């Protein structure tokens, strides 16, 4: 028997990685039409203390009777005790989740995926680009960086949505704009009413903001998350503006069933989004053409 396999087969039985932990919904907030923020804490008190994650990682949440869904964690690991998820009502499982209320029990396992390379980013500028619901995993990164602000140089946040109504975390994003230690540029697809105008005077595509970022691209790490169609354009624009491919990180979405590299659904070329991602450097697109 070969050593490598002998080792594998002679191991004691490991814990079941697919077994989730019970969690309580502690708070639900309607962010925008069809979008809610859910806060959870584990029934197992110890787990609340020991739980750690990296911004950009995700969990698998069991919606009772409906099934499991992969959802990015949108709270920062620097704020312990509760996990927050931003959920858009889009399919058969999220519809059921959206009907759930504080006090209801769900089950959560994770965290999964690689997360943003927050430690590598230390000592550099950070440019965060969010489109629509893409803000969710980046919110975790934003608060992580702001809580450890001295470790990073300049921080930029670019956020694009359809209109003011669909802006997520409206209050938070408004407060961010007032902070002196972070530069925020917000844009809307179309400005149609007073509310929109009060939010921003910028109208157009998220990509238009990129040239306005006043950072040295070579000293900047970029984190991008948005709808699947946006990546190609954002990627192109970033490269045009001199950001190195190895320093641009995109957070990708795929169908997932297991989160641990066993179900296969999330494969992008030779990589699994769940274990090798969901955060990929733009450099990977060279080998994985179907990525974006």
Partner 1 sequence: MEFHIDKARVLPKENLRGFLEGLKNLGKLIAPVKKQEKFYFDVIGDVSKVELSYTRTILPPKKFLVPYRRERYTYDAETLDFSSSFKAEPQIIFGIHSCDLHGISILDSVYLKENPDPRYLEVRKKTVLIGISCKPDEYCFCMSTGTAFPDGANWDLFLTDIGDNYFVTIGSTKGDEIILNMKEFFREITDEDLDLYKKSSSFKKSLFDFKNLPDLGRISQVIELEYDSPVWEEEAERCLGCGTCTNVCPTCFCYTEMDVPSLDGKTVTRVEFTTSCQYPYYSLVAGGHYFKPTRASRFKHRYYHKFVGYPYQIEKLGCVGCGRCSAECPAKISMIETIKKLRGTADEEELRKVAE
Partner 2 sequence: MVKIGIMGLTGCSGCQCEILNCQDALMKLIGKVEFAYFPLAQDNNTFDEEFDVMFVEGSVTTEEDEAKVLKAREKSKILVAIGSCACYGGVQAQKNDEASLEEMLKTVYGKTELFLKVSKPRAVSEVVEVDYELPGCPVDKRQFVYAVSSLLNGVKPFFPKIPVCHECKLSETECLTLKGIPCQGPVTYAGCGAPCTSQGVGCQGCRGNCDFPNFKEMLKILQENGLSEKDAVAFLKVFRGYQGREIKVNDEERRNEKGA
Give me the residues that bind partner 1 (CB under 8 A), please.
Answer: 1-2, 5, 8-9, 11, 13-20, 22, 62, 64-69, 90-94, 105-107, 228, 253-255, 257-258, 260-265, 267-272, 275, 287, 289-290
User: Which of 28, 146 has the CB closer to partner 1?
Assistant: 28
Helices and strands (H and E) in the chain: how many: 9, 14
Phi/psi at 274 (5° precision): -75, -35
Q: Which does 146 bind (CB under 5 to 8 A by kind): partner 2, partner 1, none?
A: none
The CA distance from 100 to 153, in Å, is 41
* Other Cβ atoms within 10 Å of 79 Cβ, number: 13
Site size toward partner 2, by CB under 8 A? 7
**Contact map string, positions 99 to 138, toward partner 2, x by CB under 8 A:** x---------------------------------------
Select from 49, 95, 181, 212 the one that contacts partner 2 (CB under 8 A).
95
What's the distance, CA 212 to chain centroid? 24
User: Which of 22, 174 has the CB closer to partner 1?
Assistant: 22
User: Which of 98, 183 has the CB closer to partner 2?
Assistant: 98
Q: Which does 22 bind (CB under 5 to 8 A by kind): partner 1, partner 2, none?
A: partner 1
Tokens of 206: 């998220």
**CB of 156 within 8 A of CB of 182?**
yes
The CA distance from 118 to 112, in Å, is 16
Report, in Å, the least distance between residue 152 CB and partner 1.
31
Report, in Å, the least distance between residue 64 CB and partner 2.
9
**CB of 188 within 8 A of CB of 158?**
no
User: Which of 4, 99 has the CB closer to partner 2?
Assistant: 99
Report, in Å, the least distance between residue 13 CB and partner 1.
4
C-alpha angle with apex 70: 144 to 52, nearest 5 degrees? Answer: 35
C-alpha angle with apex 18: 17 to 20, nearest 5 degrees? Answer: 105
Q: Measured between alpha carbons, how far is residue 104 from residues 4, 27, 35, 49, 116 in Å?
A: 45, 10, 18, 21, 31
Select from 11, 46, 65, 101 the one that contacts partner 2 (CB under 8 A).
65
Q: Which does 289 bind (CB under 5 to 8 A by kind): partner 2, partner 1, none?
A: partner 1
Q: Measured between alpha carbons, how far is residue 256 from residues 24, 68, 199 in Å?
A: 23, 9, 35
Q: Determine the 3-state secondary structure of 185 from DSSP.
A: strand
Report, in Å, the least distance between residue 121 CB and partner 1.
26
Report, in Å, the least distance between residue 284 CB and partner 2.
26
Report, in Å, the least distance between residue 94 CB and partner 2.
11
Q: Determine the 3-state secondary structure of 127 from DSSP.
A: strand
The CA distance from 76 to 281, in Å, is 21
Q: Which does 99 bind (CB under 5 to 8 A by kind): partner 2, partner 1, none?
A: partner 2
Candidates 230, 289, 290; CA nearest to 254 is 290
Q: Which does 153 bind (CB under 5 to 8 A by kind): partner 1, partner 2, none?
A: none
Q: Which does 96 bind (CB under 5 to 8 A by kind): partner 2, partner 1, none?
A: partner 2
Binding site for partner 2 (CB under 8 A): 65-67, 92, 95-96, 99
């Amino acid at each position: 028997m070969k050593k490598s396999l002998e080792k594998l087969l002679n191991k004691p039985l490991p814990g079941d990685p697919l077994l989730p932990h019970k969690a309580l919904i502690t708070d639900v907030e309607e962010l925008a039409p069809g979008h809610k923020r859910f806060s959870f804490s584990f029934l197992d008190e110890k787990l609340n203390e020991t739980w750690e994650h990296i911004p950009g990682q995700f969990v698998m949440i069991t919606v009772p009777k409906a099934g499991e869904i992969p959802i990015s964690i949108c709270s920062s690991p620097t704020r312990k005790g509760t996990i927050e998820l931003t959920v858009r009502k889009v399919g058969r499982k999220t519809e059921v989740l959206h009907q759930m209320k504080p006090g209801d029990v769900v089950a959560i396992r994770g965290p999964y995926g690689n997360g943003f390379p927050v430690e590598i980013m230390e000592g550099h500028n950070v440019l965060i680009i969010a489109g629509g619901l893409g803000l969710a995993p980046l919110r975790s990164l934003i608060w992580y960086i702001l809580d450890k602000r001295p470790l990073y140089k300049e921080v930029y946040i670019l956020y694009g949505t359809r209109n003011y109504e669909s802006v997520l975390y409206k209050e938070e994003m408004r407060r961010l704009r007032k902070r002196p230690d972070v530069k925020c540029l917000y844009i809307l697809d179309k400005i149609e009413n007073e509310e929109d105008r009060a939010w921003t005077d910028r109208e157009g595509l998220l990509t238009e903001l990129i040239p306005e970022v006043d950072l040295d691209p070579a000293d900047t790490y970029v984190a991008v998350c948005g709808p699947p169609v946006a990546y190609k354009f954002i990627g192109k624009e970033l490269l045009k503006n001199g950001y190195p491919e190895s320093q641009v990180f995109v957070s990708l979405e795929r169908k997932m069933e297991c989160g641990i590299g066993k179900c296969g659904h999330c494969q992008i070329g030779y990589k699994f989004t769940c274990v090798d991602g969901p955060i990929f450097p733009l450099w990977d697109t060279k080998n994985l053409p179907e990525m974006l």
